[in-house]
A and B are shown apart, each in its own frame.
Chain A
Amino acid sequence: MIAMLHAPYVIGSYAVTFGAVGLYLWRILSQARTSARNVPNEELPWK
């Protein structure tokens, strides 16, 4: 288990990793939504 002394650094590094990946995913999704409005449905790359 994690000793109290280093817990902020260890947990912080995991939190930064998951947080950064989550933010990046959110950015991809929001950009996809914005761009999808300007393209007809049949031209969407995932159709």
Chain B
Amino acid sequence: MLGFAVLAGFAWLVLFGLFLSPNDQTQKTGVRILYIHVPSAWLAYLAFGVTGISSAFYLVKRTRSLVWDRIAGASAEVGVLFMGITLVSGSLWGRITWGTFWTWDSRLTTTAFLFVTYIGYLAVRDLGGTHQQRARRSAVLALLAVCEVPLVHFSVKWWRPLHQQESVADGELSGLMLFSLFVGLISFTLLYVWLVMHRQRVLALNDRADDRGLDAALLERRNEVVR
């Protein structure tokens, strides 16, 4: 059901984003990238926030469960995916509006730094050890990494970079443009829920497969000793 809602949302996004919404007066057709760039950035923030909250739940003794760790891992993966999409779509948009794919301004640099940090987080999750060891070390790292999210978000206010200020909160968008953006935000949020749900199930399956592999190896070793 959720999968169908995601597909329908994306069909609407393509329809409104590419065909029905009007051109911007200054950015012309370039504004159409907004409908995927802003939702993907929002999704990455949401994903990293969920990773941080789930990690906190894992670290608190009363709520400790590997389910929180798997949700954190799944959410971080989806966040990295959408942060990557944000960087690529932003760089294509930058080529249209600024005439360059990349510039070292504060928003772009902090976003790239956040992207690399969470790639590091995923690498740390893949280090050896038990599931509990993995969960503990990655939870601590997630709580440190999530502090970068406000830094990225407020970088446009604190350092006045080339990157534009918030256009939604400032009321610069209206009518079909604002509607198209909301279609994008809703579709991407549904996609996030759907991806995390499935990814954390696969992570649970991987953990079970690991446990069974370990049990089989222990049994084999015991049999060797008995022989």
Q: Which residues in A have some Cβ–Cβ distance to B below 8 Å?
A: 1-3, 5-7, 9-14, 16-18, 20-21, 24-25, 28, 31-32, 35-36, 38-39, 43-46
Chain A residues lying within 8 Å of B206, measured Cβ to Cβ, are: 31, 35
Q: Is the CB of A45 within 8 A of B89?
A: no
Q: Is the CB of B212 within 8 A of A38?
A: yes
Task: Give bound CA distance, A44 to B208, whole Å.
Answer: 9
- Whether B47 is near chain A, meaning CB under 8 Å from some CB there, is no
Chain A residues lying within 8 Å of B88, measured Cβ to Cβ, are: 13, 16
Q: Is the CB of A13 within 8 A of B204?
A: no
Chain A residues lying within 8 Å of B29, measured Cβ to Cβ, are: 2-3, 5-7, 10
Q: What is the minimal beta-carbon distance from B144 to any residue of chain A, in angstroms? A: 25
Among candidates A6, A13, A28, A31, residue contacting B89 with C-beta atoms closer than 8 Å: A13
Q: Interface SS of chain A: helix, strand, loop or mixed?
A: helix
14 further A-B contacts with Cβ under 8 Å, apart from A11-B18, A17-B36, are: A3-B28, A3-B29, A6-B28, A9-B30, A14-B17, A16-B89, A17-B89, A18-B10, A24-B78, A32-B201, A35-B206, A39-B209, A43-B208, A45-B208
Could you tell me how many residues of chain B have their Cβ less than 8 Å away from some Cβ of chain A? 38
Q: Is the CB of A17 within 8 A of B202?
A: no
Q: Which residues in B have some Cβ–Cβ distance to A below 8 Å?
A: 10, 14, 17-19, 23, 28-30, 32-33, 36-37, 40, 77-78, 81, 84-85, 88-89, 92-93, 95-96, 191, 195, 198-199, 201-202, 204-206, 208-209, 212-213
Q: Is the CB of B195 within 8 A of A24?
A: yes
Q: Is the CB of B204 within 8 A of A45?
A: yes
Across the two chains, which residue of chain B brings its CB closest to A14?
B36
Task: Give bound CA distance, A20 to B170, whole Å.
Answer: 31
Among candidates A10, A24, A36, residue contacting B30 with C-beta atoms closer than 8 Å: A10
User: Could you write out 7 A-B pairs with CB less than 8 Å apart?
Assistant: A6-B28, A9-B93, A10-B29, A10-B32, A13-B33, A14-B36, A45-B201
